[in-house]
Structure 1
Amino acid sequence: MVNADFKTERIKQLCRKLKPILGSRIDKIWQTYSLEDEKGKEEIEEYLKLLAMKVIGNDLEKETMLLYPPKKEKVTGDYFIGNVVYNDDEIYPFGLREDEWIQHVGIFGRSGAGKTNLGFHVVRELVKKSKPFILFDWKRNYRDLTIVPGFEDILIFTLGRKVLPLRFNPLIPPKGTDSRTWLKKLIEIIAHAYYLGNGVMYLLQKAINAVYEKYGVYSENASDYPTFRDVLRWLKNYKATAREVNWLSSTLRAIQTLCFGQVGYALNARRNQGIDELLEKKVILELDALTHSDKIFFIEALILWIHHFRLAENVREEFKHAIIIEEAHHILSGEKASLIGGEMVMETTFREIREFGESMIIIDQHPSQISLPALGNTYCTICMNLKHRKDVNVAANCMLLDDEDKQFLGTLEIGEAIVKLQGRIHTPFLIKIPEFEISKGLVSDEQVKEKMASYFAEILQNQGLIQDVPHIPKTDINEDETSLLIDILKYPFSGVVERYERVSVNRRKGNKIKNDLIVEGFIEEKEITLSNGRIILLELTEKAKSILEEMGLKVPRDTNGIEHRFWKHKIANYYRKKGYEVHIEEPVNGNVDVLVIN
């Protein structure tokens, strides 16, 4: 009985696959088969095998991918994705419709299967319909679109590189967002990106709360906002309990990362002017220069900002804007469990943001690494060739492929994909995505800079998105900090007490200036033990030397450290006071540190 049922189901599936070719004829064959006795069924089965060989060009024993194609009127849509394929023929185009984008799209496939090619098509369709978008580009794949006709108004920002940096301070809540709510969600994102525990999150909450109070963020009348450098200063001065010492060490490491180098420049702006204007434009954010954790933090922080910005708007469930995320498993990970338990911030955002007109398009090699809440809230799933059995099983479950058909996920050719929608068409079908004609690797940094400068520099500078397109300002140090740097240059071997007297500041203010310069990477502190006590020396970093040279000051470039130079200076002064002739770094059979001549 079991074998008979299995055979009947197999014949039913074969008839279903032949119907798009044979139409009503196959319905009659199936009806006849259902009424026949065992012998008659065997005869019809043999007939169907011969028929399959004739119309499909294969036999029943050899696996052939014949996913039942939807009706033409069912697959039409304003945004072209690819052509429906049946029996190796491309029969009609498939496209997504306006209201489907905000229910989210998932694109999956191994490296080289054609995901980026499909990404190009998605961008083209959005551009055609004048839909703004933000694309998080992990590998600098999409800049070549800017030389394709029709894509001239795409903006490109190079996060972590000087070419065209974008400044975004995540500590500034979107308008209409409760600051305390924002603080808690932002801390969870920091913890997710940098693998931080509950103790670190506790200290981060204390630190950010303190700088929010200092700058009047809770009173909603802040003219300037705190940055992560302010958070770092607070943590540097925080007196940790014995229990908090290890937490503080981990917290400092994480926040120092957000204050260092080009990432520090990008994230530490006093104001967020223009981020909302970006949501009305077509934007590519290149992330290749950022570290793995920095990429995750920046993407999650910006998406969270967009989510809360949209919350304050009145229009609902109207497709306004798309967010395209490559390597999405880093943001919507099924394996990286939330440290605080429950649903992660990004999973909640993914689920809720569609109501506010945002489409999330996630692109990844491994559907098995995407969290279940994210997969469960994706309307359109597009799967290209997959390699790993785990990926195949997850994708097959998402698209309700049976055991016979799921194996085809590992045999799809480049540009082929199986599509499953959660409405309109209820069964999976096969499409072929045409190759997007584009020359790759032709657009240099200089071309990107020139294009952005020519078309958008004035607008962007007015909005505060870019300051000085060709160059990044190296610092915004104040007058007191500048005075102390110049004093260190002129008097490298003085202690801090002498310095504070020369620049006319008291000890408390002087220590604050000194600590700020240390945090911002302009100076380093060195304690030297003397016979009668100790002295604190301050040494300029390369960053500070560059600033002083830009001011027109002559800065010596000595390869020796401050302690070595200090002792040379002490020894030289000692012998000069005794009346000897003293030379420093005298070339005698190689350089001599101190040459004393009687």
Structure 2
Amino acid sequence: MEIRRILPFYLVISSILLMLVALNLIASYIIYYLIIVLIITFVFSIVLTRGKSFISIRKFLIRRNIFTLNLNESYVSGIAAKIIGKQEFDKNPVDLQKELNNLLNALIARNKNYQYLILTSVNGKQASSSIVVYKECKDCENEILYEFDNILEIAKVVSPHIILEAVPVSNKALPLPLAFGNVNFARVMDIKMESPTIDKIIVDYDIELGDMLVHNQTVPTGIRSTDVLRHIGIFGSTGSGKSNTATLIANELSNKGFNVMILDWHGEYSNKLSDYTIYNYRNLYKINPLKFNDIDDIIDILGDVLQLTDPQRFLLFLIISKLRKDKRFRLTDMLDVLKNTEDQSNWMREVKYALARKLYPLFTSKGKLLFSADTNPEIIDLLSKKGIVFDLSFINNIRLRKLYGLFLLKYITDFYMNNKPDKKLLLIIEEAHNFFNVENDFIDKLISEIRKFGVGLCIISQSPSSISSAVMKNTNIKIIHSIKSDIDKKILRDSLSLPDNLYSALDKLDVGEAILSAPNTKTPLLIKIRKL
């Protein structure tokens, strides 16, 4: 029995007892005992029903604040609550804004039948916020109450210092709350960028990328081909327009006499660049890394991709050195030398068989096919073509795909460093975080030295945080499409010294929009990339 039912019962009994005393129909000392018994039983009843009673009272108060609007025979029902932040006096300050964001993110994933409206009031003294929960329905108080209870339970978990207190709504056209909490909330979802001033308009370019907005007019802009050798970084989430930007740059440079070669991780460029020569499983470009000059680079590449330990790297060095001495350059020869390596000690036996397991991708049918060239092909044949796409997507084993891509990079860049051809080269590397996620001597040399020999890198990645710091530091042209990850956004902000308005726009850029930072720009610019 609830308190509101118990209380009248005890009031009636007490009244009867008092009447009996007044009429001298019962001794007063008996009344005293009866009153004590009544008090004890009343208190006991409260204890037993306290939880249910409080819940009932709370639900009654909340139910009173549920509103229903009749808008041209279309009914909308809901409830408003002020948002209150709770701070404990003797505790460290709580990040209430972060907790509120956690709650809102949780609401985003909830039932789409309900709408959640955050209202922020600025009254000249302070900003405060409320939430309105509503849906199209009539006579649905229980549903609204159930949803509000669910939100309260969610808040307890994701935002324990945020209190949602139901309040009445105003009688104006919109259901505005009559009270607001003490947590400030304001978020600008639509970013309006300031137009650059005249002195920031870029006219010194010969590779047009797209347009920027200046005084409500579109002004073409781009980058200089002479800056390409200082390396390009194109970053952005999947579907943000990275490959369109890379294709645009490839076409522009090809028309200006550059050699362009693309390491195509997912096989996207075969259709985009139909006039380029495509190397894939039907037209395989075979190489033999055992015939490369620099044995240290071979060990670095194999060691990093296959995650070899130092003892395993040393054993691999001994094996390749023996092969060179014996003028044996087939993968099967490497396997033979490894098998015949003495392993009398347990330590050597463990190193030997662990190395064999890690080298296994090289000895598969596809590994043997990729690295089976008797003599490495003449790169001069590649330079006579308009452009080259190495489609790597047919290589299912990811480590083998990485090895093949890195060995191609080494083979091509070694040729340029040794022969210094007249035509400059741009190497476009898709999903570059798969190749440049670690720092080693080969990567450092590649990024810092090859531009002296007429080679520029264009690294494309959706994850700047996965690119080695040396590579990020040496990309002097950066084209940044929409980025969602906070870690990636912070890395790009720090590397470009982005102003607050551009930093806040990073995750809100539309497809094809990008922030351009290049040596010929005085400041990072927001541009719309031209679509091919």
Query: TM-score, normalising length from structure 2?
Result: 0.61
User: Residue 257 of structure 2 aligns to which amino acid in structure 1?
Assistant: S
Q: Is the 8 A contact 1:67 1:428 kept in 2?
A: no
SS in 2 for 1:74: coil
- Note the 1:75-224 alignment, pairs <5 A: 75-86=203-214, 89=216, 91-147=218-274, 151=275, 154-158=276-280, 161=281, 163-173=282-292, 179=293, 182-215=294-327
- Note the 1:539-550 alignment, pairs <5 A: none
RMSD: 2.2
User: Residue 362 of structure 1 aligns to which amino acid in structure 2?
Assistant: I
User: Residue 139 of structure 1 aligns to which amino acid in structure 2?
Assistant: H
The number of aligned residues is 342
Q: Is the 8 A contact 2:370 2:404 kept in 1?
A: no
Counterpart CA distance in 2 for 1:243 and 1:194 is 20
User: Residue 370 of structure 1 aligns to which amino acid in structure 2?
Assistant: I
Distance 1:367 1:269, change over 3 A: same
Offset, 1:208:
0.4
SS in 2 for 1:156: strand
SS in 1 for 2:279: strand
User: Residue 232 of structure 1 aligns to which amino acid in structure 2?
Assistant: L
Q: What residue number does 1:293 align with?
A: 399
Deviates more, 1:118-127 or 1:70-79: 70-79
Distance 1:250 1:278, change over 3 A: farther
Residues 25-45 of structure 1, C-alpha deviations (whole Å, 9 max, x = no match): xxxxxxxxxxxxxxxxxxxxx
Q: Is the 8 A contact 2:241 2:512 kept in 1?
A: yes
Gaps of 5+ in 1: 1-59, 174-178, 216-224, 437-598
Counterpart CA distance in 2 for 1:194 and 1:90 is 53
Counterpart CA distance in 1 for 2:429 and 2:212 is 25
Deviates more, 1:399-408 or 1:324-333: 399-408
Q: What residue number does 1:428 align with?
A: 524
SS in 1 for 2:388: strand
User: Residue 259 of structure 1 aligns to which amino acid in structure 2?
Assistant: F
Report sequence identity in percent.
Answer: 26
Counterpart CA distance in 2 for 1:319 and 1:399 is 31
User: Residue 278 of structure 2 aligns to which amino acid in structure 1?
Assistant: I
User: Residue 248 of structure 2 aligns to which amino acid in structure 1?
Assistant: H
Residues 77-122 of structure 1, C-alpha deviations (whole Å, 9 max, x = no match): 22221212346x5522222222101000000000010111112212
User: Residue 311 of structure 2 aligns to which amino acid in structure 1?
Assistant: G
Q: What residue number does 1:355 align with?
A: 452
Q: What residue number does 2:436 align with?
A: 332
Offset, 1:251:
1.6
Q: Which has the greater radius of gyration?
A: 2
Distance 1:90 1:112, change over 3 A: farther
Q: What residue number does 1:312 align with?
A: 418
Distance 1:70 1:286, change over 3 A: farther
Q: What residue number does 1:250 align with?
A: 354
Q: Is the 8 A contact 1:67 1:430 kept in 2?
A: no
Q: Is the 8 A contact 1:70 1:425 kept in 2?
A: no
SS in 1 for 2:526: strand
Q: Is the 8 A contact 2:297 2:441 kept in 1?
A: no
Q: What residue number does 1:393 align with?
A: 490
Counterpart CA distance in 2 for 1:319 and 1:130 is 7
Offset, 1:234:
0.7
- Note the 1:343-422 alignment, pairs <5 A: 343-421=440-518
Distance 1:70 1:192, change over 3 A: farther
Offset, 1:280:
4.0
Q: Is the 8 A contact 1:392 1:409 kept in 2?
A: yes
Counterpart CA distance in 2 for 1:70 and 1:377 is 29
Q: What residue number does 2:342 align with?
A: 239
- Note the 1:65-76 alignment, pairs <5 A: 65-66=193-194, 68=196, 71=199, 74-76=202-204
Residues 418-443 of structure 1, C-alpha deviations (whole Å, 9 max, x = no match): 0111x23231001101222xxxxxxx
Offset, 1:61:
12
Offset, 1:269:
1.7
Distance 1:62 1:96, change over 3 A: closer
Residues 112-150 of structure 1, C-alpha deviations (whole Å, 9 max, x = no match): 101111122122212322322210111111111354xxx
Q: Is the 8 A contact 2:259 2:423 kept in 1?
A: no
SS in 2 for 1:133: strand
User: Residue 258 of structure 2 aligns to which amino acid in structure 1?
Assistant: K
Q: Is the 8 A contact 1:229 1:268 kept in 2?
A: no
Offset, 1:71:
4.5
